[in-house]
Structure 1
Amino acid sequence: MNNINTRSGLILKKGLVLILFLCSVFMLGSCKIYSFTGTTLSSDLKTITIQNFVMNTAGGPANLTLNFTEKLKEYYQRNTSLKLKPSDGDLFLEGSITGYELTPVAATASDKAALNRLTIRVDVRFVNTKSEDESFEKEFSFYQDFPQEQTLAQVEGSLVPKILDQLVLNIFNDTAAQW
């Protein structure tokens, strides 16, 4: 009797291990390529080309396009294993800053703006040479609000980097993380 219990316990354990193994294989097989940085890039992608973005709008700091391009390059280098290549990368990014706009928002009772909003818009062309269906042209925009009592000159130095960081993150998510 004891021998039968031991044998059925062993069969039960082997069955449980087999089920766990099959579940693991199924779950891994159904996932895209994933890394701990959140990217879903295929392993055959090795390089990226990021062209200097150009300014197609009035306004903004003189070094806006340079800062934006450098932030993009740094983010991809820090969060992927892709190597920057001056041309002919497996992935290709280019674009232009098309909007640098200051607008009043949240009017007060005296018809004055309680808040002002700085919005930056960027047109991006993304090409994945290994998977053309992932390529796109798209506009990204982000904004930051600031109190009416402050001038743009007073807050521009702190707002622009925050806006650019969020634009870079949004572009990265649409190109490398595909969320």
Structure 2
Amino acid sequence: MKHLKYLLLLLVATTFSGCGVYNFTGASPIDAKTFQVSFFHNNADLVEPGIDRDFTLALQDLIMNQTNLNLVSNGGELAYEGEIVDYRITPMTATAVTSTGDVGAAQNRLTIRINVRFTNKKKETDDFEKPFEFYYDFPGASLPTGSVLNEAIKTIFERITQDIFNESLAKW
């Protein structure tokens, strides 16, 4: 019975020794307490009003919701800055020629690219500057306005902010 107790203790110890620190968000252990997200200006050729503010807030919200870091307006140990560099709508598939001789788009794609500069004052080897891009396809008959545009931007920003998070903090 005495040996069984030691064997059980040894089994439990070896089981948990390989687990290390785990975080449900996927973030690696962070040696920082604060972060800042500077305003992402819209420098795209085609400007959609308000998306610069929406993106900045979306990135702040994601980091606050998935980490214990405190948001500061300046002097953050982790800093995100950059700009929206591309906002474009392109036809993806064409429809047949209509009775008027026009060719329309059966599907359009909204693409947004954002250039991000990440600085980690605690670990400079983590610093990077790179573009992040995603798209949203919508029917050719729909205009990218109202609910179609809102859904497109929401979907694109969710993906881009998660990709930025993964690159800067999760190390995936």
Smaller-chain TM-score bracket: 0.7 to 0.9
Q: 1:24 to 1:158 in 2, by over 3 A?
A: closer
Q: TM-score, normalised by structure 2?
A: 0.87
Where in structure 1 are there 5+ consecutive unaligned residues? 1-8
DSSP 3-state at the match of 2:55: helix
- Is the counterpart of residue 34 in structure 1 residue 22 in structure 2? yes
Q: TM-score, normalised by structure 1?
A: 0.83
- Is the counterpart of residue 46 in structure 1 residue 25 in structure 2? no
- Report the structure number with the largest CA radius of gyration: 1
Q: Distance in 2 between matches of 1:146 and 1:161?
A: 13
- Is the counterpart of residue 15 in structure 1 residue 7 in structure 2? yes
Indicate the residue corresponding to 1:4 in structure 2.
none
Decide which moves more: 137-146 or 107-116: 107-116
Indicate the residue corresponding to 2:157 in structure 1.
164
Decide which moves more: 93-102 or 54-63: 54-63
Indicate the residue corresponding to 2:118 in structure 1.
126
Q: Distance in 2 between matches of 1:22 and 1:41?
A: 22
Shift of 1:145: 0.3
2:12 maps to amino acid: L
Q: Distance in 2 between matches of 1:20 and 1:81?
A: 29
Where in structure 2 are there 5+ consecutive unaligned residues? 98-102
Aligned partner of 1:149 among 123, 141, 158: 141
Q: Distance in 1 between matches of 2:74 and 2:29?
A: 19
Indicate the residue corresponding to 2:54 in structure 1.
67
- Give the percent of matched residue pairs that are identical in Structure 1 and Structure 2: 36
DSSP 3-state at the match of 2:138: strand
2:121 maps to amino acid: T
Shift of 1:150: 1.1
Aligned partner of 2:65 among 52, 75, 78: 78
